[in-house]
Chains A and B, each alone.
Chain A
Amino acid sequence: MNPPPPPEHGAAAAPRRLTVGDLVRIRRPTTGAASLISSPSLSTSTAPPPRKKPKFPPAAPNPPPRSTAPFAPIPHRVLLSGTLSLPAASSPVACRSHCLSLSDSPFAADAASVCCYLLDFDPAAVGREIHVLAWNYLPSVHRDDGVGVLEVIRWCLAEATPALGSGFMRTIPLDCADADELDSGTYGHVFGVVRSVSVVFSMPRASHKSDVGGGDPSVGFIAEIMCCACRKCRGTPPEADEQHKFEVEKFVYFVDSASRWRPVLARMVGRPVSVSGLKKRMVSVGTKGSYTMLVSTRKTMLRWCPSYPAVVELDGSSGNCGGVYAGVVTGIYMQGLLIELDETVWLLLDDQHLAPSHSLRVGAVISVKNGRAIRLKFAWTRIVLLGTCIKTSITINSFSLVDSKCYIKAENRGLLGKFVDSFELPIRFWMLILISCFKQKFTKLFSEKEILGSKNVVPFANFICKGESFWILKMLKIWNGTEVMDKNQRCCPFLCDGISYPGTGKKIISSSDLGSVLVGRIKSSSLPGTLQLVDATGCIDVVIPDLPPNINNYKVVLQGHMAYLDHYDVTDPLSCKAAFQHFSFRKRLNHLKIYVIINWSELNRIGPSSIPLQINTCGKLFHLLKLTHIYPENNTFQHKNLLGHSLYAEAVILPYDFKFTERGECSEHAESFRMSCTYSLGNSKVSMAKSCDIPCTLSFGTTKLYGSLVSIYYCGSVGERDHISRILLEFKDGMFNYQSLRIGGYFLLECPTESLNYSMKGCGCLQGGKISLGSQSRFWTLAITFNGNTNIKPANGDESIGVSSVKMDESFSRKAVHSEIKLVRTWNDFHQYCDFQLNIYCEAKREKMEKYNYICHVFNELCSYSNEVQSVSSFIKTRVPKRPSRSSNLQNDKLVQGDLISLQGKVDNIHPYGCKKEKNMVGNKKYNICIHVTDETHMVRLCGYVSKHGYPVGLGPGASVTFHRALLTHKHELFLTPQTYIEMSSISLAALNEECVVTPLISDCLKDGSLTRVPSCLLFSSQKHFAESRAIQFQCRVVTIHVLVLENILKDSQPSETRRGTINIKVLLAGFIVDDGSSLCCCWADDARAELLLRLQEVAIPHASVASKFSKDGVNIKQTVGSFLESMLKKHKRIIARNCGIPPGISCHDLELSSALNKVLSCLEEKLMKFIILNACWKGTLNVIASALNANTLNGFNLDLPDLHPVRNMPNFWVNQAFQVDPLDEARRMLGMSRRLN
């Protein structure tokens, strides 16, 4: 605390006086007060204060740029005084309806006046000098005049109140001409409670009855006054102590000079006033009729009753403008059209003059009288909307100090103008949300004019954020146990090779639940094969199952790992607030896939169609293709064409071309066309002459063209059918109908070369073996039918000809589940909606029949060019031996050999492959993944690398997929190759039928639900778990190693340098003595589980001498423990280590090491083995899922186990799975367990 001011400055305790003239020189938002508590006055000035300028920021010639900086307090006490009067006629329009004027004495040297708004308004103050005790000053609210606004927080009268008027009624000293010459007989008067006051409005004067002179509109406002109807009050001025009943509604029109009274009357709402000196006028309102209205005159006088209590009698029923709401302004949007109160209520300001705009700032407390409250229920949120009407008045209850920016622009009716005004209140609000969203969405894509003409939307940034927060909420609910995931949503980890992977979940949200519409441009993403919907705020992956943008009916899919997620600390992205704010968002959940599924038929296209369906290029060649394969992205062809992103497909070209025979005419008028054989090598005219006619029709839409199938190459020789040749199709950037590409489908291609030759060879398409298709290329889907049927037998009926796809359809429909969403069309649909239909029909003539049969034969041959799609079961029956090999050594197969097959099934699980999960996570260009695919009875898995971009949208558990060209090795293992194309058929939420999934191919997976979890520290010694053969889960640490058998898996011929991070050794068997804190037991494991327990995949450096000997790449490079073993095992083939020490003690001297080749282990080799075993014992706690093991089972290994007393009595377990403990996870689980316990 500063010492009190010295006594000689006692007079300085009086606050420094401030005039209005001083005030208006202030150039920044300032607050001042006449009494300050915290800091005693620093002022040393004497009283009376000199008329020098106070120490404010100096009056700069150019005001500094306005900022949102809060108010600067004046550090010393100041007392502002001035005379309060009605606003000057020159005061800004925004102020005229609400503010009074505070001015210096007119005799002062630099007299000035300023607009002021008073809290606790008292009519007695009007026309008198007041002391302003606490205030805020906002300079230059209105740019035009440069005069600021004074917000008066506390004030008092400068002198004691002299009575004005009678005791009961007091005259408000407004500037009436002859206030005292009141003649109530001549002029009407009203006494009543002010119910509402309109804003000041102007109205054209009726010229013929003008008493002032036509031209100028009359300016005024209407006050609604509930009057006392008693006879006394009607006749004479009212008296005190009467029980007035204010029941009669009267309207008083304060016009011309009296319109300046509005600030006073607006603050009198709810209080009784008496208005005298009125005259009656008839007012006609359009065609609705005439009303009597009281109009102010020059003699009008306003009086009020200080003693009479305020009568607040407002009609609060919903729908009427009668409610009162007071709240804190929490946001102002759309240039002041929308004001958010208390973060819940939205006030829609129809008229900017309803409120004192300068004081309507964020943080202010306002009260809205005579507002209309409506509850609005949108699909995504609920809000309370406050509407305003002519009766509404808004007053400020408390000023804002946190914000000094004035948001409201006085005249901004141009935004949507009367168009929006013409709507009902909820629609108006809705429109404003839409406009805001559109403005954000399309700032770069469309002009504002285009925006206002389009449909309603949500920006994608908000949309994706909503998806993420929805997912987080769901995860939190699941973790908190308030929501149970559907059965098929695997919350529990999935086991593969003894390693557990987090389960995945999926949530499909229908557009009707979100209540929003997506509008964007569809474009192919930078990765070919993927479509995206784009707007200015972001993009979202989109799947359009049925191809031929504003999307009304769609489904959003959220798919990600089941993991605990922390709360988002953001506002609801679909809330009204987010729509009006500029919403900034960065995707946070990288693992969460969000995409939208839309049916093309549901798409409303805004732009022009990009698929022109017309053929007017007669005289051109049209090739017939059958697609045999689609290459995934980033395939081997990619590097040749780095510039554009292309999609590649493989097709076979049929030996027939279309050639329209009518020259120079559009096909619509063409009567016929011919199919010409591609191998017409000779003179085309001659060939034509030789042609055999198989009649066929080509139809598109309703147009049907008749023609004949022409083959110059005379049908007959079967040996010629190998002239069907494969070709590579390149779809260049911009060609976006690739989603209609379907392996097995037929396509019609307009020959891109300009050649008019009939022969395909001549046209050059085949010469490079590749055809490039750009956006200008003509490429259409084609359905070929035989005698009107897709699955037609030739006339003789003994040979089944057709399209293999039909069979696929059957399996499709059989497994169709209700909650399945199709991502591709069924073949029937595909054929039905093809661009063209080609029907080949057979005539009952013998030679025609032969030709027809031959064509059928050619088509049938085509099937051999694409693999037959197998189901998992049929695959297992034909290809997989009864007991598949346990090991999967993807890493070791340098040259994997086998067959390419196509496999169809439902994805059961998908996870990164291998123990080192973290290495395959996001960020790497390629994922090493493992996909488990099942049908109703069997399950297989496919492993391999999938590029980050080749990962199809929607791939996840529950999805029906077809793997085209997956590699089946001679070891009966399935791999994804760079050529493998994954076709998504459908995704579903339906639970996989657990009972049907009976053959886990690789490991004997445990049913997650069957696990008994042994509580920590409670206890092996309870023994009860041992008898049961069921798996149990417990936490333990390795104490020592009992036995360890390591084997080399590299053949001599194979080079040892493989990819770093993989180990070319195998743990045949390992026995670990583990400790759970209550007892010891012996856990046996092999392969990956043992590797984890042995820490072979972790990086560690043994003693330098050992490291330099066994290191693969030199000492300096960090290596995993296991990699040191490779060269040693190459030499010894197999090493067995036995520990003859008594557990839990560990000493390297008790280790017995032996080599399978009976070679003596060198000193360094021994040291390495010891290091590895010791290293394994210094591992933290692990979660182990194990099942009891009969000790006799171990005899099968033919091992000479050390027979030690404590080990003999220990229970034996077989480790099914081992994984790290996540302490947070564990703690949560434990709390959950406690909950269940009680």
Chain B
Amino acid sequence: MDSPHSLHLVHVKLLAADLLTLTSRHTSPPSFARCGRTVTRAEIVGVVVSRDRREKFLRFLVDDGTGCVPCVLWLNHQYLNANNSSSRGSDSDPTAEMALRMSEVMSLGTVLRVRGRIVLYRGAIQIAVRDVVLEKDPNVEDLVLLVNVHVIMVRIELNMREYGQPHYHLVRIAIEKEKQSNQRYRCSMLIWLMRTEKADILGVQP
């Protein structure tokens, strides 16, 4: 079950566009795959753009510039532990307290780092929040994007070592690949990198 390609234990850092385009497998509970790997948990960073507090849960949308991810934070702790046989259902369980506390800090416009399980709700992907961290430094968002591009760059680098192709081609290939997979944001980031003075980073001629 624990194939080396499985990522089911970890919170995979994803951009919203990637998260929302995961392919869901018709298993029970439903699982998700990205590039052939199973992904069950995710971490995203973005701005809270909508917030809907109900008695038992808090629904909110996190926008990271590539898409909006619906998230749900359960405030009903009994429900969270419904599958847990050892549930004793204490009123002031620290977990419930923490969830309440998190729901309080989460206001519109704040930058959050959200972790949780990926679930399907009425056929759409959303995150069942495990925890939320308030990011005070606005640079975090850019860093996340940069990390994403960096991963591509490392991939390109690995390819280059394998095939010995010139960089420029590889970047082109990467852009084409992203185009095909309809990943416009990354595509445009790469193009932006090529066009700006960052071209020297990529080693390409703009």
Contact = CB atoms under 8 A, between A and B. Distances in A.
Contact of A1234 (B7, B11, B43, B201): B201
Contact of A1235 (B92, B95, B131, B200): B200
A1170 B10 contact: no
A725 to B, nearest CB: 61
Nearest to B41: A1144
B150 interface: yes
Contact of B9 (A1015, A1080, A1227, A1233): A1080
Contacts of A1170: 94
Nearest to B87: A1149
Contacts of B147: 1016-1017, 1230
B201 A1021 contact: no
Interface in B90-124: 92-95, 97-98, 102, 113, 115
A1223 B142 contact: yes
Interface in B1-48: 4, 7, 9-13, 41, 43
Interface stretch (A424-432, A924-932, A1176-1184): A1176-1184
Given A1079-B9, A1144-B10, A1170-B94, A1231 B139 contact: no
Nearest to B170: A1238
B81 A1223 contact: no
A1103 B133 contact: no
A846 B58 CA distance: 102
Interface string B130-160: 1111010101101100110011011001000
A1223 B198 contact: no
B201 A1235 contact: yes
B131 A1178 contact: yes
A1209 to B, nearest CB: 8
A1174 interface: yes
B202 interface: yes
B167 interface: yes
Interface in A1148-1198: 1148-1150, 1167, 1170-1171, 1174-1175, 1177-1181
Contact of B150 (A1021, A1144, A1177, A1230): A1230
Contacts of A1231: 146, 198, 201
Interface in B39-67: 41, 43
Nearest to A1210: B9
A1078 interface: yes
Interface string A884-907: 000000000000000000000000
Contact of A1149 (B13, B86, B98, B198): B86
Contacts of B139: 1223-1224, 1227
A1162 to B, nearest CB: 14
Contacts of B88: 1149
Most chain B CB within 10 A, of A1143, A1171, A1223, A1230, is at: A1223
Contact of A1230 (B43, B135, B146): B146
A454 B10 CA distance: 74
A677 B203 CA distance: 85
Contacts of A1079: 7, 9-10
B43 to A, nearest CB: 7
A1237 B157 CA distance: 7
B148 to A, nearest CB: 9
Contact of B10 (A1080, A1105, A1222, A1234): A1080
Contacts of B201: 1231, 1234-1235, 1238
A427 B127 CA distance: 75
Nearest to A1172: B94
Contacts of A1235: 200-201
B181 interface: no
Nearest to B134: A1180
A1077 interface: yes
Interface residues of B, number: 46
A1147 interface: yes
Contact of B151 (A1018, A1102, A1222): A1018
B84 interface: yes
Given A1017-B13, A1149-B87, A1179 B133 contact: yes
A1079 B13 CA distance: 11
A1206 interface: yes
Interface in A582-622: none
B11 A1015 contact: no
A572 interface: no
Contacts of B98: 1171, 1174-1175, 1178
A751 to B, nearest CB: 65
A1156 to B, nearest CB: 23
A1234 B150 contact: yes
A256 interface: no
A1144 B9 contact: yes
A1224 B143 CA distance: 7
A1039 to B, nearest CB: 8
A1144 B10 CA distance: 7
Interface bin, chain A: 35 or more
Interface in A1085-1123: 1102-1103, 1105
A1226 interface: yes
A1075 to B, nearest CB: 5
Contacts of B94: 1102-1103, 1148, 1167, 1170-1171, 1174
A1142 to B, nearest CB: 9
Contacts of A1103: 92, 94, 97
A343 to B, nearest CB: 26
Most chain A CB within 10 A, of B81, B135, B137, is at: B137
A1158 B139 CA distance: 49
B202 to A, nearest CB: 6
Nearest to B4: A1021
Contact of B142 (A1016, A1077, A1181, A1227): A1227
A1075 B131 CA distance: 14
Most chain B CB within 10 A, of A1150, A1167, A1179, A1180, is at: A1180
Most chain A CB within 10 A, of B88, B93, B94, B97, is at: B94
Nearest to A1171: B94
A1016 B95 contact: no
Nearest to B40: A1144
B7 A1147 contact: no
B196 to A, nearest CB: 12
Nearest to A1105: B92
A1103 B100 CA distance: 11
A1144 B11 CA distance: 9
Given A1148-B95, A1174-B94, A1223-B137, A1077 B11 contact: yes
B131 A1233 contact: no
Interface in A196-221: none
A-B complex: 3 closest residue pairs judged by Cβ atoms: A1238-B203, A1223-B139, A1077-B13
29 contacts: A1016-B13, A1016-B151, A1018-B154, A1021-B4, A1037-B11, A1037-B43, A1076-B10, A1078-B7, A1078-B12, A1080-B10, A1103-B92, A1105-B92, A1144-B10, A1144-B11, A1149-B81, A1150-B86, A1171-B94, A1177-B131, A1180-B133, A1180-B135, A1223-B137, A1223-B143, A1224-B137, A1224-B139, A1224-B143, A1227-B142, A1227-B146, A1230-B143, A1230-B146
Given A1143-B9, A1223-B143, 13 more contacts: A1016-B150, A1018-B151, A1075-B11, A1077-B43, A1148-B93, A1149-B84, A1149-B87, A1170-B94, A1180-B113, A1180-B133, A1224-B139, A1227-B143, A1238-B202
Interface of B: 4, 7, 9-13, 41, 43, 81, 84, 86-88, 92-95, 97-98, 102, 113, 115, 130-133, 135, 137, 139-140, 142-143, 146-147, 150-151, 153-154, 157, 167, 198, 200-203
